[in-house]
Amino acid sequence: MIALLLILFPLAAAFAAWRIRSERSARVLLILTACVHTALTLCCAVLPPSRISLYGAGQEWIGFDDAGIIFLLVTSLLFLFVSLHAVSAFSAEGGNCGLLRERFFLPCLLGFLAAMTLVIAARNFGLLWVAVEATTLVSAPLICFHRSGRSLEAMWKYLLICSVGIGFALLGTMLMAVSARAAGAGGLGMAELANASASFQTDWFKGAFILILAGYGTKTGLAPFHTWLPDAHSEAPATVSALLSGSLLNCSFLAVVRFCQIAPESVRPFCNSLLTALGVISLAAAAFFIIRQSDFKRMLAYSSVEHMGLAALLWGCGLESVAFLHLCGHSILKMALFLLAGNILTACGTRSVAEIGGLFGRIPRNAVLWICAILLICGTPPSPLFVTEYLLVQESGFLFGSLVLLLLFAVFAGMTMAGLNMCMGTPGTHDVPPERIPAAERLCRIPAAALVIALAAGAALAVLFNQGVL
């Protein structure tokens, strides 16, 4: 029943937030919900599954396996960090951009947490589809928060493209049910289908997985289905971008993983080949667009495409546990990067790399963290991503590994060039209120804490690798 409470408590908080008129009460509610969700998540991590799951009609509807617990911990931790940052950023955002001042923002943000939790907890493929669609509906208004023409376009692109993807996922789920009929499975429960997977009709399942990968892969941001992602991530507020990249993409990737886990043994090489193909396409697309990118938030969005592609490559190469580790490291680092990007935007008033310069002199704390985070997201030791990317190259063989290394180097070159151009050179001439600069400097605490966690995780992974555990 704790799993159900993890979903219902944020929903109740969202309804309460809709009725609240006090900004102070809204901030307290946001932090309280994040803390309670984190506490319940820790309970789920230590309690036996029988005390967590929700059963009905003879099957498990809501519960957590090992992968679910990992992603739940990451999602809850990221939401707590983002909530603390949002409250600190409230006064710095100013004017009509105050994150907690708008009545719709907080209910949608809390509903987003509930929907992502439901995606992770769903143990029925029908419920999983509903949960993924719910994440689209509740997160779309967050993208359009600034009410500009570009943010409105990004929101509609997000809604339309992801809704088409969700339609493909629904058709794939139906074909998977047809495949399971030969095995006598009468429902869409994951445990029941996993037990009967050996008797699936393999041709129907292959067709189902193609549609599933196109459908949920759209929400995951895998190229060539990623076209909504750069606009949505760049136009949304920094806190929302951090959740979209750090949590939502993980949830969508988990939806693909659920189908891989029930695939018959004879079909798994086919599924892994498709994941590998989309992983290479995603990595290549990200490298191409990052090198020529002039908007630093869009650059981070294409970095997310890159890392979801790397996760697909890791899974396709049979390194499933390493793929989970890679996604966890990416989530922490990308959250820090998007929050720092929001600080830079607050201090400089522009997203253009060419128009920003002299960050070391203007906002030195954020500038140092920005460079460090870029190096870590590119896999520079002691980043946790260095170990996972090294294992991928090692497993890929000489030719394929060389291709992956070349694309990774292209991404590294593009991101570090942009980061150094922003931190050095002549400061921009944008008219920004003077109080914004010290306010942006005060907002570096949460990104700094995230980078410390990432460095500790990278050191731990390096030790485990040296000991032969990985």
Q: In this model, does residue 408 exceed pLDDT 70?
A: yes
Q: What is the pLDDT of residue 242?
A: 94
The token pair at 152 is 């409105």
Q: What is the pLDDT of residue 433?
A: 64
Q: Residues 6 or more apart from 352 whose CB is under 8 A from it?
A: 294, 295, 296
CA 443 – CA 303 distance, rounded (Å): 23
| Mean pLDDT of all residues in 240-259 | 94
Q: Residues 6 or more apart from 277 whose CB is under 8 A from it?
A: none
Closest CA to 407 of 309, 275, 297: 309
What is the tens place of the pLDDT at every residue in 70-122? 999 999 999 999 999 988 886 555 444 444 445 678 899 999 999 999 999 99
Q: What is the pLDDT of residue 213?
A: 95
| Mean pLDDT of all residues in 121-138 | 93
In Å, how far are 43, 77, 78, 165 from 31, measured between CA atoms? 19, 12, 12, 33
Contact 45, 10 (CB under 8 A): no
DSSP characters over 137-162: HHHHHHHTTT--HHHHHHHHHHHHHH
Instruction: For residue 59, list its beta bridge partners.
Output: 56
What is the tens place of the pLDDT at every residue in 339-359? 999 999 888 888 888 888 888
| Mean pLDDT of all residues in 148-152 | 84
The segment with the largest mean pLDDT, out of 189-198, 201-210, 420-429, 435-444, is 201-210
Buried b (16+ CB within 10 A) or exposed e, 156-195: ebbbebbeebbebbbbbbebbbebbeebebeebbbebbee
Instruction: For residue 55, list its beta bridge partners.
Output: 60
What is the tens place of the pLDDT at every residue in 24-68? 788 889 999 999 999 999 988 887 766 676 666 556 788 888 889
Closest CA to 226 of 207, 206, 249, 246: 249
Contact 135, 243 (CB under 8 A): no
Please give the backbone phi and psi of residue 62, each rounded to the nearest 5 degrees, phi first.
-135, 130
> What torsion do the CA atoms of 297, 301, 304, 305 make, to the nearest 10 degrees?
-150
Does residue 397 or residue 90 have the better pLDDT? 397
What is the tens place of the pLDDT at every residue in 193-221? 888 888 888 889 999 999 999 999 999 99
Only one residue has tokens 């000991």, namely: 467
Q: What is the pLDDT of residue 56?
A: 62
Buried b (16+ CB within 10 A) or exposed e, 27-42: bebbeebbebbbebbe
Mean pLDDT of the chain: 88
Q: What is the pLDDT of residue 97?
A: 44
Residue 55 C-beta-side C-alpha neighbours within 13 Å: 8
Q: What is the pLDDT of residue 428?
A: 63
Q: What is the pLDDT of residue 193?
A: 87
Sign of the dihedral defined by the CA atoms of residues 403, 406, 409, 411, in that order: negative
Q: In this model, does residue 163 exceed pLDDT 50?
A: yes
pLDDT > 70 in the chain, percent: 91
Please give the backbone phi and psi of residue 201, each rounded to the nearest 5 degrees, phi first.
-80, 110
- Mean pLDDT is lowest, of 89-103, 157-171, 359-373, 406-420, for 89-103
